[in-house]
Amino acid sequence: MRGFLRPMPVAGSTAAIAAALLFVPGAPNLAADHLDPPTRTDLAVDPTPDMPADIADIFAWYAGDTVRVIVTFGGPNDPNRPASFDRDVLYRIMISTAAPADTPEVVIRARFGRGKNPNEWGVRFEGVPGVTGAIEGPVETTLVKDGVKARAGLFDEPFFFDLQGFRESRSMGRIRFDNRRNFFDGNNDTALVLEIPKDRFANATTPLGFWITTSRIGGQL
């Protein structure tokens, strides 16, 4: 079925470059957040795009007794490329749990660090509600501490959208969406994944408000 839904003639190995070329520099492009802001993350505009710091998406939902939070970045990336771990990037998952809705009561910080041997990477989560100290361990591994599950690693790109259709609709002034065409098919992202007991937010006095920021030590690339 999915093959039928994938007529997009963009080879996976060149999808990231094609993505950059398809974007009109500076013009609004309806992606989740991929390649935005263009002057820092879009190869069509920036010769040194900061992929590890380029947020792709944030997801936050609940089911059963847990709240799930996923942040994806460094995508859409070639399926044969490794994950985008970078020691110099700070990821902050901000959560507002009380008024005003524009300030965070919870700040979860995530960083990557190299291990002692080649190709070893670790991840460290700080500030997770109800967790004493940090959650720390190797990437590509499910880490469990104080009832929280955490993981960082390489995954399939989860966003689905006909980017080409949106761009054509905007430029041609006609609706050009094609629901068989997912620009993000066949690509990967790097992701931070957290599953937190819902009761850790029992003291929230407003709906939770999530946002993610990235920043780099030493200035932008």
Site for another protein in 138-197 (CB under 8 A): 138-142, 149, 151, 153-162, 165, 169-182, 185-188, 191, 193, 195
Ramachandran region, residue 208 (left: φ > 0; alpha: ψ -120 to 50; beta: rest): beta
Q: Which residue from 181, 187, 150, 5 is spatially nearest to 66, judged by alpha carbons?
A: 150
Q: Which is nearer to another protein, 66 or 132 (CB)?
A: 66
Select from 105, 136, 146, 147 the one that contacts another protein (CB under 8 A).
136
Out of 17, 22, 32, 44, the residue judged to bind another protein by CB under 8 A: 32
Helices (H), 4-74: 15-22, 38-41
Amino acid (1-letter code) at residue 158: P
CB of 108 to another protein, least distance (A): 12
- Which of 20, 70, 128, 135 is in the footprint of another protein by CB under 8 A? 70
Judged by phi (left if over 0) then psi (alpha if -120 to 50, else beta), residue 95 lies in beta
List the one residue from 38, 106, 129, 135 that touches another protein (CB under 8 A): 38
Shortest Å, Cβ 9 to another protein: 10
- Footprint of another protein on 83-102 (CB under 8 A): 83, 85, 87-90, 92, 94, 96, 100-102
Residues in the interface with another protein (CB under 8 A) total 126
- Smallest gap from residue 132 Cβ to another protein (A): 18
Burial of 51-82, coded b for 16+ CB within 10 Å and e otherwise, reads bbbbbbbbebeeeeebbbbbbbbbbbbbeebe
Task: Determine if 130 is a binding residue for another protein (CB under 8 A).
Answer: no
CA distance 59 to 158: 10
Asked if 105 touches another protein (CB under 8 A), the answer is no
Site string for another protein, 39-68 (x = CB under 8 A): xxx--------x--xxx-xxxxxxx---xx
Side-chain half-sphere CA neighbours of 94 within 13 A: 12
